[in-house]
Structure 1
Amino acid sequence: MLRVYDSTMTQIDSIFSAGEDEGGDFDPEDSPGAFYYETPGGGYGLMQIPFYPGGASHTDRNGETWSGTMADPGYRIGRYAPGGDTTLIVVTERPPVPVTPAERDSAIAVIRESLRESGVTREMDWSRIPDVKPALESIFTSAEGNVWVAIPNLSGGTDYDVLSSDGSYLGTVTAGGLDVYPWLPPVVVGDTFLAVVNDELDVPYVVRARIVPVD
């Protein structure tokens, strides 16, 4: 849901995306992107399914929202003006990036350990983990106003499709095996790329890189 505020920060509208509504009952056992589990004390919890395709959104400096969803086999991005009017649609087609057996086993091990700490020993339905990675990870804009779309690569890291503000494709920036921190978007100014990444021990640190063209 997108909440719209006026200049005094008074909410004037709520925009619901496809699949959302203003009411309805929530059934935690029927969450499409999460594992449901019950704890010994009578409570319950939800844990995100690894590699489950979701969406991403970003509001640029002009107040327009770029919202991305999965397409088959690529992604679809819409640009929405304040109030919800669609001003641009971009659709891509890309070959899917498979989830490797090692990545799947590692994700399952992390979930099992987390559940074990909560006293849960029941196995989840691991078949719900997708065989391919989401085609779209995140969206942000550079200082110049270009739209950067994070996509998975075959090295286990993240690449970026770069679009101009009118949706034209400018190129793809390859980041190799950099494990960019997913909850903090990089900062791009000119040919400088700044990002928080995790090393092999999951220790975060800041990387400053220069973007160079490839012949």
Structure 2
Amino acid sequence: MDLKFGSLEGDDLNVTFGDVRGVEAASDGTIYVLDEQAAEVRVFDSSGEYLRTIVRSGEGPGEIGSANGIRLSGDTLLWIHDTRQWTIMGVDPTGEEVRRFFKPVMSYGYIWDGVFDDRGRYWRSTTHGDEDPGYPPPPGLSLWSERRYYKSYELSTGATDSVYVGESRFRSYGYTTPAGWGFLPLPFEAAELIEVNPSGGFWRAHNASYRIARTGESGDTLVVIEAGLPVQRFTDVDRDAYVESIVDDQPELRREAEEVAALTPDVKPILEGLFVDDEGRLWVERVTPRGAPTLYDRYSEDGDYLGSVRLAFRAAGPIRVQHGSIYTWVVDELGVHYVVRAPL
């Protein structure tokens, strides 16, 4: 990495971050940082020097209640995902509000995962189903399915639309004890990975195999990427280790942990995630051993292999690849947040 800034304590509180939830960079190297704890967006120059704060907490124009992500459109419009006001707000580089719209999907995760495509549409995934087991969970294994959609919002007209991308199946394992109820994690669950391609359509893959397809919005397959990586099998040693990881903290759950271990798939996931960078290249994150550096394979939109990137640090959030550099944040052993940049 060629830049790292942040502070546990110091004279300048503007470089002390409570909870970073987004880092974006303009073409001249200007860096925008969202601190969720302070409900602020701060601006830094390419050397990490603080310049100004352009968004603060509040309910007026250009102010946010709480936010969990930012997206920079060109160099002139910064979108902010306000989770308290259920809106997405756009501000210019000075912080003046120039646009606002209500979210087409009324939910959010830890980090905002919405995408703006090249046609000026905002995309976000959503699901619909009637089989959720509810709360408190019934003891044992529960199974249900939901229909998965990607919903779009046309910025110029306000029109909304959706694309059906298939059915998602879910499993959970509930338990009850005299102290209450909870869930046991089901390790290495199979899942489909879907990422909006800003130039149109989607990138899709199943995490248990290295086969990635670019599809159109109508579902037709346009490009397929395959790699013959060795299968990682889930062994009896893995199952025993899972059981012991549960009973170390909750010895009364041995029977339940053994039942969950018996439900694990035969093979482990190969893929961790997908994203598209500012030049339209697909980044495929592989599953790596615990503690090992994160590894990405890169491809053109036509599926040509462009090389791999192994991070020299452990990112605490999603990475953004902009203008030839990787931007993200890291957290040290004291819980201090630092913004980092690394050239490709």
Q: TM-score if structure 1 supplies the norm length?
A: 0.66
Query: 2:271 is paired with a residue of what secondary structure?
Result: coil
Query: 1:122 is paired with a residue of what secondary structure?
Result: helix
Cα pair 1:186 1:195 within 8 Å, conserved: yes
Matches of 2:232 and 2:336, distance apart in 1: 26
Q: Given the alignment, which residue of 162, 184, 194 partners 2:298? A: 162
1:47-92 deviation line (CA, Å, top 9, x unaligned): 4323434332211222421111145xx4111112223222222111
1:81-117 deviation line (CA, Å, top 9, x unaligned): 2232222221111235689x89x9599647864xx4x
Match of 2:215 in 1: 80
Match of 2:253 in 1: 122
Matches of 1:174 and 1:88, distance apart in 2: 25
Query: Do residues 141 (structure 1) and 272 (structure 2) align?
Result: no
Match of 1:210 in 2: 343
Matches within 5 A, 1:41-52: 45-52=182-189
Structure 2 unaligned regions, length at least 5: 1-147
Cα pair 2:246 2:253 within 8 Å, conserved: no
- The higher radius of gyration belongs to 2
Match of 2:325 in 1: 192
1:7-64 deviation line (CA, Å, top 9, x unaligned): 44444553314x66xxxxxxx8xx2xx5x13223798544432343433221122242
Cα pair 2:276 2:282 within 8 Å, conserved: yes
Give the structure with the larger strand fraction. Answer: 2
- Opposite residue 38 of structure 1, the aligned amino acid is Y
Query: Do residues 174 (structure 1) and 307 (structure 2) align?
Result: no
Matches of 1:49 and 1:204, distance apart in 2: 30
- Opposite residue 295 of structure 2, the aligned amino acid is D
Matches of 2:332 and 2:196, distance apart in 1: 29
Aligned residue pairs, count:
187
Distance 1:12-1:98 versus aligned 2 partners, 3 A rule: closer
Aligned residues: percent identity? Answer: 28
Q: TM-score if structure 2 supplies the norm length?
A: 0.44
- Opposite residue 209 of structure 1, the aligned amino acid is A
Cα pair 2:293 2:310 within 8 Å, conserved: no
- Opposite residue 162 of structure 1, the aligned amino acid is R
Q: CA RMSD in A?
A: 3.8
Query: 2:252 is paired with a residue of what secondary structure?
Result: coil
Cα pair 1:4 1:82 within 8 Å, conserved: no
